[in-house]
Amino acid sequence: MYAPFPRTRPFQLRRRTVAAGTIFWRFDATDPSVWEWSAFPTPRFRFDPVDGTFRTRYGASSVVGAARERYYDTGRLIPADHAEHHLVRLTTSRPLSVLDLRTERNLTALAVDDRISTGHEPHVWAACQELVVAARGWWVQLDASLYRPRTTPQSSMNMAFFATDCCAVTSRRLHDCRDVLDELVLLHQFTIGFAY
């Protein structure tokens, strides 16, 4: 079990900057132009706030990483009814201020371990959902948290972000992403449930 996070930022905890022009990817059921940013009444995902005060969305620094995270539970099957879903590209339009949960220094300062990124136990998710609220209280400006993906730790990083005003956002329907789908099938053992 993790101890509660303090109201005051731990002394050794540091933010880092993600450079403008950095690209993240997301598979989403809806077009980004209609994304809703009101919070869920109760947390659904790893870094959703426990107090329901803001919305968190997730992305990965590689398309493969985003696909493997999104379709982990389906065994890398992209279902037939996802043909109209969107592959979203988020390009940072300014430097982002982020809490990096991949560094040993920050994990030590928070008195947590790498399960904060990859664990699925209920107490780990509860800690994640409390941490994101505490972190947004520790800094006036915090655009996102970076964390280690469970599926592509050597080639990608995940981002939990709270708005898109720091990014240029574009998207394509999945059935129009032949290049991406071919790569996922041929090189990463995905199965596509629709014709493209």
pLDDT digits (tens, 9 = 90+) for 143-160: 999 999 988 888 899 999
pLDDT digits (tens, 9 = 90+) for 64-117: 999 999 999 999 999 999 999 999 999 999 999 999 999 999 999 999 999 999
The model's pTM: 0.94
- Are 52 and 145 in contact, with CB atoms under 8 Å apart? no
- Are 190 and 76 in contact, with CB atoms under 8 Å apart? yes
The radius of gyration of the chain's CA atoms, rounded to the nearest angstrom, is 17
Pairing state between β 57-60 and 144-147: unpaired
- Are 100 and 146 in contact, with CB atoms under 8 Å apart? yes
Q: How far is CA 158 from CA 6, 67, 122, in A?
A: 25, 12, 20
